[in-house]
Amino acid sequence: MMSDLEFARAQMAMSLAFHIVFAVVGIGMPALMVIAEWRWLRTRDAMYLELAKRWAKGTAILFAVGAVSGTVLSFELGLLWPTFMEHAGAVIGMPFSLEGFAFFTEAIFLGIYLYAWQRIPPKAHWWAGVVVAVSGALSGAFVVCANAWMNAPEGFAMVDGVVTNVDPIDAMFNAAAPSQVLHMTLAAYAACGFAAAGVHAYALRRGTPHRAFQRARPQTRSRMGLPAAVLQPLSGDISARSVAERQPVKFAAMEGHLHTGPANFVIGGWPDEATLTHRGALEVPGALSFMTTGSTKTVIPGVDQVPAEDRPPLAIVHTAFQIMIGCGMLMMALAAWGAWRTWRRRRGQGTALPDDRAFLLAVILASPLGFVAVEAGWTVTEVGRQPWIVHGILRTADAVTPMPGLGVTFALFTALYLGLAVAVVFLLRRQILKTGIRQLPLGLTGEMPIP
């Protein structure tokens, strides 16, 4: 039977795993619709206008559901972790307040974007979309700043167990914030770009009669998804170095570095927490030390530097980290393949996108990788910090509510999220898939006034 602490952690994990999908969409989808409308303003090709309108519909639906799941998540912070909020509320109140401001700005301008097609000039309408995209990115950044503080707490003093001398600016712009914000933002753009490309690549490969319309979609997506996928490994390296400096135990767990000393680069495997050994891993001697410091002889602290009760679940953290890295490398490889195809086509040596069925199949298969990587990355971030809810300051077990019966709330919230998931699928299918391409006349390629 699970304890109340385990139910609380499971409920929070489920809530975060569900909400982060909508947080990512809130960052990435507005950028896609803005790029599409910008292309329409430049070319007056009605395909891009239709594309912007359809992505705007999807953004509105997912924004609404994300608002619900985000509200639930904010209540859970207070109800499940009252000690955490008692200590941390005054310190990280600023990023949460700014996130609320960015959220309402995004909501206001999304309403303008959706309902003012006929009421304001085209360029003003596009700028409204830009505000939606920027405020969505800022909303995500402010939340990540709060999470980064949990990994690198700064901007306060603890005196006799009481938080004093709070500096909210230092707390929000803590040392871990820049790398986490960069990594998360690029991950959102890559995830949304590849997911959108996969949907439209499937339509192209299936042989839709509106090939020109579907072809415009991957072209628009490539302006966001491919650069983000290429830059993501670089931001990941920056983030990993930050973790190595400030959370050495988390770094050792995610890299599978079990014993203090020169560190091997571990690929795959399953770490045994009892014996601190790997099963089935491929190890490159000294490679992790070299990647971290430039020398294969550098001693890197392992998970054995702390007692067992201060270690995170090694197998979960290491496996999630490997999944994230694997997804990122596959997306980067696909981005490189796409760039090579574009270069060859411009030289007259390659085929157009609708005729390259192998590439379309690869895009389809890669479409969920960005979201898988995001989920795995947040698993590394949250599970890797255990047993601390605020690293080195407050343990998770000490922050949980004393209220009993958390299994009931876990069941209720599970039902809520399942209901929201069903609603999302139904609405997307009804509002976009069933009312989308079949309403676009064949051969629509010329100018089109804003409806």
DSSP 302-346: -GGGS-GGGS--HHHHHHHHHHHHHHHHHHHHHHHHHHHHHHHHH
Q: Are 268 and 322 in contact (CB under 8 A)?
A: yes
Tokens (6 digits) for 95: 């990023």
Residues 6+ apart with CB under 8 A from 119: none
- pLDDT digit string (tens) for 358-374? 888 888 888 889 899 99
Average pLDDT, the chain: 82
103 Cβ partners below 8 Å, 6+ apart? 67, 70, 135, 139
Who has greater pLDDT, 190 or 343?
Answer: 190
Of residues 103 and 214, more confidently modeled: 103
Instruction: Give domain status of residue 60, yes or no.
Output: yes
Number of domains in the chain: 1
Q: What is the three-class DSSP state of 447?
A: coil
Residue 214 has pLDDT above 50, yes or no: no
Per the domain annotation, does 423 fall within a domain? yes
Q: Name the pTM for this structure.
A: 0.84
pLDDT at 85: 85
Residue 58 domain-assigned (yes or no): yes
User: pLDDT tens, 160-193?
Assistant: 778 888 888 998 999 999 999 999 999 898 888 8
Range of the domain at 77: 4-439
CB 204 within 8 A of CB 215: yes
Range name among 39-48, 239-248, 307-316 with the lowest pLDDT average:
39-48
Kindly state whether residue 295 falls inside one of the protein's structural domains: yes
> Which single residue is written with the structure tokens 């767990």?
253
Residue 175: both structure tokens together: 């040392």
Looking at residue 405, its pLDDT comes to: 80
Q: Is residue 451 part of a domain?
A: no
Each residue of 266-311: pLDDT tens digit?
Answer: 888 888 888 888 888 888 888 888 888 888 888 888 898 888 889 8
> Is it the case that residue 157 has pLDDT exceeding 90?
no
Residue 449 within any structural domain of the chain: no
Determine, yes or no, domain membership for 448. Answer: no
Rounded Cα–Cα distance for residues 433 and 297 (Å): 56
Is 277 among the domain residues? Answer: yes
